[in-house]
Amino acid sequence: MSTPDQMYDEAQKLKAENNMEGAVKKLQEIIEVAPNHTLSHSALSVYLQKLGRPEEAIKHAIRVTEIEPNDAFSYTQLSVIYVRCGKIQEAEDAKAKAHMLTGRHHH
């Protein structure tokens, strides 16, 4: 049985071969065994958006913010995914949250 990180590397190889569907399937296998594998959710949000599956992409981007609620980057990525999926208000909200978290780390 491969570890989530080994499976993630396999998914990256598939993506490098332009096999987005294969990469997505592999990432979905990872989160079945490791539901909080942030990198997999993060990658899924990007790949699914590229495959024209915005609802799923957003779901995974939101999941990243649930796993890493204090990580400004997770909200920045969520904002980017929202923009790419045409949800501008949601993107603004996520960006504001990222700025708020970034500001908190400077004190």
Residue 85 has pLDDT above 80, yes or no: yes
The domain spanning residue 26 has which CATH number? 1.25.40.10
Determine the Cα angle at 93 with ends 88 and 94, to 5°. 95
Q: What is the pLDDT of residue 23?
A: 98
Q: What is the pLDDT of residue 43?
A: 98
Q: What is the pLDDT of residue 107?
A: 46
Q: What is the pLDDT of residue 29?
A: 97
Confidence of residue 48 (pLDDT cuts 50, 70, 90): very high
Q: How far is CA 53 from the centre of its chain?
A: 13
Closest CA to 38 of 20, 63, 9: 63
Predicted TM-score (pTM) above 0.95? no
Where in the sequence is the domain holding 74, given as residue range(s)?
Answer: 4-105
Distance CA 86, CA 36 (A): 27
Number of domains in the chain: 1
